[in-house]
Amino acid sequence: MSLLGVSGLGFRFAWPTIWEQIAVPLSIAFCIIVFGVKMHTVAKKAGYLTVQDYLAHRFESPKSHRGLSAVSGIVVSMIYLAGQYTTISIVLMWLFGLPHWLALIIGAAIVTVYTVIGGLYAVAWTTLVQGLILILGVVIMAPIVIQAAGGITHINDVMAAASPMNVDPWASGAGAVFTPTYILSFFLLLTIGLACAPHVINNILAVKDAKYFKWTPLIAFAVYGIVMFLLKFSGFAGIVLVKDGLITLPKVPNASDFIFVYGVQYAMPSMFLWGIFAVIVLAAVMSTTDRLMLTIGTYFSWDIYKKILNPTATDMHVLLVSQISVIIAAVVTLLLAINPPDMLVWLIWAGIGIMFATFAVPLLAGLYWRGATHHGALAAMGLGLLASLVFGGISYFKLAKLPMHFSFMHS
C-alpha cells in the first residue's frame, strides 16, 4: 500500500509532502531505540510475546488492557487491509484490465487461503522474500521512471512552472493541506505513531539476540529512506508525464494512486517488464497483508477468546476461531474496499493515527514512568481510541476541516 500511496501523494501535493520521507524511516529507528531495546529486555525476562502481554502485565490488567488493545489492533488492521486490497485491485486492473470488484475478490481469495492454511510459517518466509523483492524492485525501476520524465532538475522546473508552491517545503493559502501546523502533526504522527504499531513492536520482541539492535536503527533508516525518496520522486515524475500528455490516468476516484504503475508502463514499454513490476508491487502488498490477517486472527482467538472469553479453550478451538476470524475479516474489509478513498494514504494515516492515539501514552509511560497507573493507562487507551475514531470519521467524510491530523484532536 505504501508503495503506490507514497508516489500518489507526491503526484498530488508535490514537495510539501517530502517530510514523509524522513518521518517514516525515522519511525523504525524510534521503535527500536525507544521501545525495542528496553521492552525486548523486559520481555525476555517475563516471557512476553506480544505488546498485549506487556500491557496486561505492566498495568496489572489481564483483561481490560489486553482486550482494549486487541480491539484497537483489529480496527487498525482492518483499515490497513482495505487499503491493501485496493492496491491489489489497482495492479490487477492495470495489468489485466479487470473490473475493480473482480480484482478485489481475486486478491482477497489468494491472501486469505494461504494465510489460513499456511499460518505463521508461511507468513514468516514470504515476508522475508517479499521484502527483498520490494527493495530491489524499487531501487531498479524508480530511477528509470524518474529519468523518463527528464530527471530531477527538469521535473522540479516543470512543477515550479505549474505552481511555485509545488517546490516549497510547505503549503499556504486557502485550501492548503500541508501547512506548517499540519506538517508538524503529520511528522509526529508518522514518527511516533508508526513506531507504536503493535505488529511492528511484536517483530522487535521476536528478535533472538539484542546485539542486532546495535546497527539496525541506522541500517533500517538508510534502506527505508532510499526506498521512500525514490517512490516520492517517482510521484513527482508522474506530474511531468501527465502534464506532457505522455500518460493518461484512468477515470477513477483514486487515479493518483495509479501514477507509479502508469509511469513504469511508459518508461518500460515491455509486457514482460510490466509483469515483473506487478510481482514487485504485489510482493510489497502481500508482505503486509498476510501479516495483518494473521494479526487479526491472533488478537481475536488468543487475546479475546482464549484470554478473556474462554480461558479453558483447547488449542484446536483457538486455531479454529483464528481461522474463522481471518475469513470474516477478509469479507468485511473486502466490502470496505469496494468504494476506496481518493488516495490510499488517507487509509494509511487513519490506521497510524488510531495506533498513535491509542498506544503512544501507555507504552511510553509504562516503560519510562514508574507513576503510570492501571486507570491512567486504560483512560488514555480508551479515550484515545474513541477520539481518533470520532475525529477520524469527521476528517474522512469531510464533515469539517481540522487544523491538524485527527489523532492529535483528543489531547
Domains and CATH numbers, the chain: 2-338 (1.20.1730.10)
For the record, the C-alpha cell of 51 comes out as: 505488546
Check if the beta carbon of residue 148 is closer than 8 Å to that of residue 267: yes
**Torsion sign across C-alpha atoms 19, 20, 21, 24:** positive
Q: What is the pLDDT of residue 128?
A: 61
Whether residue 262 contacts residue 11, with contact meaning beta carbons closer than 8 Å, is answered with: no
At a CB cut-off of 8 Å and minimum separation 6, what does 369 contact? Answer: none
Residue 251 has pLDDT above 80, yes or no: yes
Which stretches of 297-337 are assigned E, i.e. beta strand?
none
* Average pLDDT taken over every residue of the chain: 85
Choose between 19 and 407: higher pLDDT. 19
Can you state the angle between helices 51-58 and 344-368, rounded to 10 degrees? 40
Q: For residue 199, which of 61, 107, 84 has the smallest C-alpha distance?
A: 84
Which of 70-74, 90-94, 284-288, 357-361 is predicted with the least confidence, judged by mean pLDDT?
Answer: 284-288
Q: Which residue has the higher pLDDT, 23 or 38?
A: 23
Cell numbers that stand for 165 in this block: 508552491
Joined together, the cell numbers standing for residue 102 give: 473482480
CB neighbour list of residue 79: distance below 8 Å, 6 or more residues apart: 347, 350, 351, 354
247: left (phi over 0), alpha (psi -120 to 50) or beta: beta
Q: Are 344 and 8 in contact (CB under 8 A)?
A: yes
Alpha carbon 286 to its chain's center: 12
Is the pLDDT score of 43 beyond 70? yes
pLDDT at 169: 93
3-state secondary structure of 7: helix
pLDDT at 342 over 80: no
For residues 283 and 254, is the Cβ–Cβ distance under 8 A?
no
Amino acid at 260: F
- Distance CA(158)–CA(11), nearest Å, equals 13
All cell numbers assigned to 81: 487491509
For the segment 110-122, the average pLDDT, to the nearest whole number, is 61
CA angle 133, 134, 140 (to 5 degrees): 90
